[in-house]
Amino acid sequence: MVLVEGAEQGQQPRGEARRPWQCCRPFVGLTLSSVEVEASTAPPARPIIRRVITPTSRTDRSIANASAALSSQREITAEIAEVAARAGPNPQPLLDYPPYRSSRLRRPTKELHQVDPEQIELHAPVFGPQDVDPLEADLTIQRGGVPIGERMIVTGRITDGEGRAVRNQLVEVWQANAAGRYIHQRDQHPAPTDPNFIGAGRCLTDDDGAYQFTTIKPGPYPWKNHRNAWRPAHIHFSLFGTNFTQRLITQMYFPGDPLVGLDPIYQSITEQAVRDRLVASYDHDLTEPEWCTGYRWDIVLTGGGRTRTETEDDE
Ligand SMILES: [Fe+2]
């Protein structure tokens, strides 16, 4: 039996209902226009639904053509290998990195200007313990309900190159929810938002340089770098040093994620040992019974073992 989705429930056919986000996502390409419900002699409790995806309009065909014009993951992976072989091990992210398509436009093309830090400090915001509530470090209690997903603790120490604790450091994080969706106007991909999860938090490091967040493990999400491109699960981190001119922005990844090997942002650092420092460790001593898992991720601000940074525009 072939049905138009939702027709039996008196709903608008889903193929029509989905048009708005298709307009917002030019690389999706195809419309879900109908489904087949497979008959069987003993009807299961829930019908088995197989989706039949067909281009249905001129707009759909042009969207499909746009998608076809994008590079495939196989081509991106080949480019990553080619750049790595040519550049050799490099501890710094390559700013002009063709596999990360938008880096061609976002990278600096002019020499950096030196500025007077003291002059900037005269006009920059100031912050301190009075500005940061300890509850802001718990991303699971911000909306009055419990967010969906794997609750976890993320903690670590922030040190300088000599291992000295960096105290009273403002640490800010932002991330997608468990379904890989940000609460952001530009994120319109078909995954649910979570009314109980904003995805942003902050804290100050203690006297030992330690930070700690309670949050939900983010999901991977699609982006438009190439066809079928997916960002590995990650949490964005921003740190301010002793003043406003020392901001560091980076991303934390999770161990065992198969997507990191395919990700041009992660791979723009060509030295494996340095890339590894962007991956947190699962720590069973942090994991709390019947409550949450635990991950540890330390950040080193200076010296040869420091955590590498990325541009503010990274996805
Ligand atoms: Fe992200």
Express each pLDDT in 105-163 by its tens digit. Answer: 888 888 888 888 788 878 777 777 788 999 999 999 999 899 999 999 999 999 988 88
Residue 104 has phi, psi (to 5 degrees) of -65, -30
* Ligand 1 center from residue 34 Cα (angstroms): 33
Q: Could you give the residue ranges of the DSSP H alpha helices within the chain?
A: 14-17, 19-24, 58-69, 73-87, 103-106, 117-121, 264-267, 272-276
Instruction: Kindly report which listed range (27-36, 57-66, 155-164, 236-245) carries the lowest average pLDDT score.
Output: 27-36
Query: For the chain, what is the largest distance between any 2 Cα atoms, rounded to a whole number of angstroms?
Result: 79
For ligand 1, the distance from its centroid to the CA atom of residue 144, given in whole angstroms, is 25
Residue 131's pLDDT is what?
87
Mean pLDDT of the chain: 79
Find the 66 Cα to ligand 1 centroid distance in Å.
24
CA nearest neighbour of 52 among 30, 33, 28: 33
The residue among 54, 102, 311 whose CA lies nearest residue 226 is: 102
- Strands 151-159 and 293-296, bridge-based pairing: parallel
Q: Is the pLDDT of residue 16 over 80?
A: no
Q: Are 95 and 102 in contact (CB under 8 A)?
A: no
Whether the pLDDT of residue 28 is over 60: the answer is: no
Percent of the chain with pLDDT over 90: 55
Q: How far is the CA of 211 from the centre of ligand 1 (A)?
A: 20
User: Distance from the CA of 220 to the center of ligand 1, in angstroms?
Assistant: 9
Q: Distance, CA 49 to ligand 1 centroid (Å)?
A: 32
Q: Ligand 1 centre from 77 Cα, in Å?
A: 20
Ligand 1 centroid–CA 312 distance in Å is 11
Distance from residue 79's CA to the centre of ligand 1 (Å): 22
Place of tokens 């040519």: 86
- CA of 205 from ligand 1 middle (Å) equals 23
pLDDT at 38: 32
Residue 10 has pLDDT above 90, yes or no: no
* Higher per-residue confidence, 30 vs 96: 96
Q: Which residues contact 9 (CB under 8 A, 6 or more apart)?
A: none
CA distance 64 to 58: 10
Confidence (pLDDT) at 140: 98
C-beta pairs of 115-120 under 8 Å, 24+ apart in sequence: 115/245, 117/243, 117/245, 120/244, 120/245
Report pLDDT digits (tens) over 70-109: 999 999 999 999 999 999 998 888 889 999 999 888 888 8
CA of 151 to the centre of ligand 1 (A): 18
pTM above 0.85, yes or no: no
Q: Which residue has the tokens 């000599």?
A: 162
Supply the residues annotated as catalytic: 182, 221, 231, 234, 236
